[in-house]
A and B are shown apart, each in its own frame.
Chain A
């Protein structure tokens, strides 16, 4: 009964972890997961979110077994 939460790049460095499991509870949204994993820190507006490897929003509902990801703005290509 859990979901997987992944972090990338500078956010992963800041949080000091790349992945963790979070207990699933009904009605869980991406924003609520962020609140739980950061012990109530506000969700920065620049942070991007994905559910099951597709872009999602803060109010996207999460299902049991889902993979969530939080990451900073992307910087691919050459600079």
Chain B
């Protein structure tokens, strides 16, 4: 399992490929489910030019590690990769990558969904949007 707070941009598909090659042996899994969240250029009726992602150094990393371990204990899954961006991001930039490998599809889908929903409601991250008219904090997450 690897969970990580990333300060620089990343290519989710390169991350998946690298992790899979380095960590999971060929033929060890039968399913892989991935979720990639990217930045939109609109939110609550306004065009968003950029976004700053803040976190709580120490607490956020610990939380993600515990979350990954919880998913591994709740489902029959083989491995978890979770990367979340912080810092300045722009429309189209990946913000979060969650990948789950398992023997069969159901566990991979279910654990992946669990991980993103838990992360969104509990992990200490905050977003500040840059609009044409200035900046504003995002005060609540949108429903799935």
Which A residues have a C-beta under 8 Å from some C-beta of B? Answer: 6, 8-10, 13, 50, 53-55, 69, 71-79
B126 and A75: CB pair below 8 A? yes
Q: Is B59 an interface residue (CB 8 A)?
A: yes
Q: Which residues of B contact A13 (CB under 8 A)?
A: 137
Q: For the complex, would chain B's binding face be called helix, strand, loop or mixed by DSSP majority?
A: mixed
Q: Which residues of B contact A9 (CB under 8 A)?
A: 54, 126, 128, 137
A76 and B123: CB pair below 8 A? yes
Contact with A along B19-59 (1 / 0, CB 8 A): 00000000000000000011110010000000001101011
A71 touches which of B95, B124, B127 (Cβ 8 Å): B124
Nearest-CB distance from A55 to chain B (Å)? 8
Contacts between chains A and B (CB distance < 8 A), count: 83
B56 and A69: CB pair below 8 A? yes
A76 and B56: CB pair below 8 A? no
Given A75-B125, A75-B138, A77-B37, 14 more pairs with CB closer than 8 A: A10-B139, A50-B124, A53-B59, A71-B56, A74-B123, A74-B125, A74-B141, A75-B140, A76-B125, A76-B127, A77-B95, A77-B125, A78-B39, A79-B39
Q: Which residues of A contact B99 (CB under 8 A)?
A: none
A78 and B58: CB pair below 8 A? no
A74 and B124: CB pair below 8 A? yes
Interchain residue pairs with CB less than 8 A apart (26): A8-B54, A8-B56, A8-B126, A50-B59, A50-B124, A53-B58, A53-B59, A69-B59, A71-B56, A71-B124, A72-B126, A73-B139, A74-B120, A74-B121, A74-B122, A74-B141, A75-B138, A76-B84, A76-B123, A77-B141, A78-B37, A78-B39, A78-B95, A79-B40, A79-B138, A79-B141
